[in-house]
């Protein structure tokens, strides 16, 4: 019988808790080796991420120095803050590399509930800081801004990975298998929509969809849920102050106002001026108060202007390295939880990167989503590097 050929050390990503061969892509995952072995950290993944962080520090200073001088009389204002957060983020990554994954799985419910609580607190006036009409930050000690949605993305990936690793025998049931993680995902997405933050919701739903798929959720259930949810999302976007206008730009820019198309126009100008090799580091013209948020959401446009198509292609290549090594870690993981976690974290990093670069290049509607590792911001950098640390942790214990 097939069961007699399965490893006796316990179920791995290629088997379910019932010892049966799983459906779909999970059948391609290697069975758990007897005893297992601890390998070294994935140096290719580590170097690729560190290169992005280093490039981000350089580009943040290049794109923000003039604005920092004008606003704070200190051209290195944003650079100093990013360097401080880089130290914190690298420490978080180092801790994550050596965490016990079983302990992390046991702590997942606490982390998930804590992130939900913070998402609720950020909506309370006086607790959540309101910037540009959105309430997305909690101000700590009146100095540091913490964005709970960044923690929520990691927490959701962990929750879904843990759920699908434990409930393989119930996934064919809609009420007992599919509905519970769907409700938790919907609750988290709803709290983020209330901020409002549609860009983060888009990333969240994309990552959740990937984990649902690789976790073995019934495709019919997923299709029915998507068919019901998309009209609701479209309606919420339509009712938001600028959401529908930003989507309209993609279909018919002539019908949108100059105010709505301003970000995209300036981004196109930056990318167009860059050419093949760019204007040279520090020589961007669009950062001179033309392009809003040049050191944050639109840093990829400044990078393209200063380093050209070659520089932009290098960034895309580094994200492809993350996709490659993250997928490799998922395929070689020895436990279902680690495998699903690696898939979710890889989808989070790469998916958010694709969304940001798609916005900057005019392929997607404008939304305030940072480019992982490059954009200015402590919360995003810290939790993204923490997620990379978990990926490196999984690679240490892979076959």
Count how many Cα atoms sit within 13 Å of the Cα of residue 123 in the half-sphere of its side chain: 14
Check residue 3 and give its pLDDT: 37
Check residue 143 and give its pLDDT: 62
* Pair of tokens at residue 383: 């939790």
Residue 109 lies in a domain: yes
Residue 125 β-bridge partners? 128
Residue 352 lies in a domain: yes
Residue 202 lies in a domain: yes
Residue 39 lies in a domain: no
Whether residue 217 contacts residue 260, with contact meaning beta carbons closer than 8 Å, is answered with: no
Write the pLDDT tens digit of every residue in 40-86.
Answer: 889 999 999 999 999 999 999 999 999 999 999 999 999 999 999 99
Residue 9 lies in a domain: no
Sign of CA dihedral 34, 340, 120, 200: positive
Residue 143 lies in a domain: no
Rg (CA), the chain: 22
CA 334 – CA 43 distance, rounded (Å)? 19
Sign of CA dihedral 396, 47, 295, 82: positive
Check residue 321 and give its pLDDT: 97
Total domain count for the chain?
A: 1
Q: Which residues of the chain have pLDDT under 70?
A: 1-39, 132-133, 141-143, 241-260
Runs of H (alpha helix) within the chain = 43-72, 77-97, 101-121, 148-166, 179-193, 198-214, 219-239, 243-251, 258-274, 299-332, 336-360, 378-396
Cα angle: 236, vertex 369, 90; to 5 degrees: 140
Whether residue 208 contacts residue 376, with contact meaning beta carbons closer than 8 Å, is answered with: no
User: Which domain covers residue 338, as residue numbers?
Assistant: 51-121+149-396
Nearest to 61 by CA among 378, 263, 268, 302: 302
Residue 146 β-bridge partners? 138
Residue 22 lies in a domain: no
Residue 247 lies in a domain: yes
Whether residue 149 contacts residue 197, with contact meaning beta carbons closer than 8 Å, is answered with: yes
Whether residue 119 contacts residue 192, with contact meaning beta carbons closer than 8 Å, is answered with: yes
Q: 125 in helix, strand or coil?
A: strand
């Amino acid at each position: 019988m097939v069961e007699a050929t399965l490893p006796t050390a316990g179920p791995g990503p290629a088997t379910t808790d019932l010892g049966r061969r799983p459906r779909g892509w999970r059948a391609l995952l290697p069975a758990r080796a007897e005893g297992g072995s601890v390998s070294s950290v994935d140096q290719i993944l580590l170097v690729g991420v560190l290169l992005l962080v280093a490039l981000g520090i350089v580009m943040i200073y290049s794109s923000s120095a003039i604005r920092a001088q004008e606003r704070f009389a200190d051209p290195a204002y944003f650079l100093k803050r990013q360097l401080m957060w880089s130290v914190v983020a690298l420490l978080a990554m180092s801790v994550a590399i050596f965490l016990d994954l079983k302990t992390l799985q046991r702590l997942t419910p606490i982390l998930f509930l804590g992130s939900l609580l913070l998402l609720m607190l950020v909506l309370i006036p006086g607790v959540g800081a309101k910037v540009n009409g959105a309430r997305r930050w909690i101000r700590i000690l009146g100095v540091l801004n913490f964005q709970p949605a960044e923690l929520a993305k990691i927490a959701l990936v962990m929750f879904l990975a843990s759920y699908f690793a434990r409930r393989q025998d119930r996934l064919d049931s809609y009420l007992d298998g599919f509905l519970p993680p769907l409700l938790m995902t919907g609750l988290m997405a709803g709290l983020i929509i209330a901020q409002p933050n549609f860009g983060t919701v888009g990333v969240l739903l994309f990552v959740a969809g990937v984990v649902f798929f690789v976790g073995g959720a019934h495709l019919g259930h997923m299709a029915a849920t998507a068919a019901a949810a998309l009209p609701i999302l479209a309606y919420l976007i339509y009712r938001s102050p600028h959401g529908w206008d930003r989507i309209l730009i993609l279909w018919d820019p002539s019908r949108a106002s100059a105010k709505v198309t301003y970000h995209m126009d300036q981004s196109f100008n930056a990318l167009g001026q860059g050419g093949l090799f760019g204007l040279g580091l520090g020589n961007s013209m669009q950062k001179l108060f033309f392009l809003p948020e040049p050191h944050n959401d639109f840093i990829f446009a400044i990078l393209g202007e200063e380093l050209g198509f070659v520089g932009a292609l290098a960034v895309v290549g580094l994200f492809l390295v993350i996709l490659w090594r993250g997928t490799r870690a998922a395929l070689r993981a020895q436990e279902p939880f680690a495998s699903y976690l690696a898939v979710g974290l890889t989808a989070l990093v790469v998916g958010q990167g694709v969304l940001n670069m798609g916005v900057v290049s005019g392929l997607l509607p404008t939304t305030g989503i940072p480019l992982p590792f490059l954009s200015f911001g402590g919360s995003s950098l810290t939790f993204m590097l923490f997620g990379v640390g978990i990926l490196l942790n999984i690679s240490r214990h892979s076959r």
